[in-house]
Amino acid sequence: MKIELIKGDITKIRTDAIVNAANSSLLGGGGVDGAIHRAGGKRILEECIEIRNKQGKCKTGEAVVTTAGNLPAKYVIHTVGPIWNGDEKKCSLLLASCYKNSLKLAENLDVKTIAFPNISTGVYRFPKELAAKIAVDKVKNFQSEIIEKVVFVCFDDENEMIYRQLLNL
Ligand code: AR6
C-alpha cells in the first residue's frame, strides 16, 4: 500500500473514497465536515439521515458510508473521532478504531484509493503529534489486497510538518 501526503482541501481530492471527520449526529458541522457537505451537496446529508433513521447515531470510533454527491470521490466514509479529554489510552484506542473501521469499510466497497483528513485534531482538540502517530501506525499496519493508496490530507501547516517527518518525506 502506497502512502502519500497532500497539503490542501480534501473535497478536491480524486480518490475513490474520502473520509469525513464527522460527529455522532451525522448531520454535519464545521471544519472538514462542513466543507464536505457544502461541496458535496444535499445528497450526502439525505443519505446520512437515512442511515440515522436505520441505525441511530454513529458511535465514536465507528464509520458509515454515503455516496459523495458532487465531489470527485465516489464515496464519503464518515467516521466519528474522539473528543480529547486527557484520557490518552481511551482516546487513542478510539482514534485507532476510526482509521481501522474506515479502511475495513473501504475494502468492502472495493476502494483502491482513499484520503484521510487529520481526524479529531481540529475542534475535538486531539494532540496533533499523537494523532498523526496513530494514523500512520494504523495505516502502515493495515494489510490489504484491495487498497492500493492512502493519502493523508493535511489542511494546516503544523499537521503537514508532523506527517512529513513521520513519513520521512
Ligand atoms: N480538508 C482537509 N482537512 C480539513 C479541511 C478540509 N477542507 N477543513 C479542516 N480540515 P475538524 P474534528 C482539518 O475540526 O477535530 C465538525 O464540526 C483541520 O485543520 O474538522 O474531528 C464535526 O461536525 C483539522 O486538522 O474535525 C464534528 O462536530 C482536521 O481537518 C467536529 O468538527 C479535523 O478538524 C469534529 O472535530
SS3 46: helix
Whole-angstrom distance, CA of residue 5 vs CA of residue 56: 34
**Confidence grade of residue 145 (pLDDT, cut at 50, 70, 90):** very high
Give SS3 for 62.
coil
Q: pLDDT tens-digit profile of 37-77?
A: 999 999 999 999 999 999 999 999 999 999 999 999 999 99
Alpha-carbon distance of 27 to 51, in angstroms, equals 10
Q: How many angstroms is it from 31 CA to the middle of ligand 1?
A: 4
Predicted confidence at residue 123, as pLDDT, reads 98
Across 150-161, average pLDDT: 98
In the chain, the amino acid numbered 51 is I
Is 157 a catalytic site residue?
Answer: no
132 — pLDDT class (breaks 50, 70, 90): very high
Q: How far is CA 102 from CA 21, 156, 158, in A?
A: 11, 22, 24
Q: What is the CATH number of the domain that holds 44?
A: 3.40.220.10
Cβ atoms of residues 124 and 84 within 8 Å? yes
Over range 78-104, report the average pLDDT: 98
**113 is written with which cell numbers?**
484509493
Mean pLDDT of 153-161: 98
Query: In which domain, by residue range, is 99 found?
Result: 2-166
Number of domains observed in the structure of the chain: 1
Average pLDDT of the segment spanning 110-127 = 98
Cα(72)–Cα(1) distance, integer angstroms: 22
Closest residue by CA, ligand 1 atom 27: 23
Question: Residue 30 C-alpha to ligand 1 middle, in angstroms?
Answer: 7
Residue 162 CA, distance from chain mean position:
17
Q: Enumerate residues 6+ apart whose C-beta is below 8 A from 148.
A: 1, 2, 112, 113
How far is 106 from 149, CA to CA, in rounded Å? 11
Which pLDDT score, from 0 to 100, does residue 33 have?
98
What pLDDT sits at residue 65? 98
Amino acid identity of 35? A
In this prediction, residue 136 has a pLDDT band, given cuts at 50, 70 and 90, of: very high
Cβ neighbours of residue 87 closer than 8 Å, sequence gap 6 or more:
none
Q: Which pTM value belongs to this model? A: 0.99
Supply the residue whose CA is at minimum distance from atom 3 of ligand 1. 155
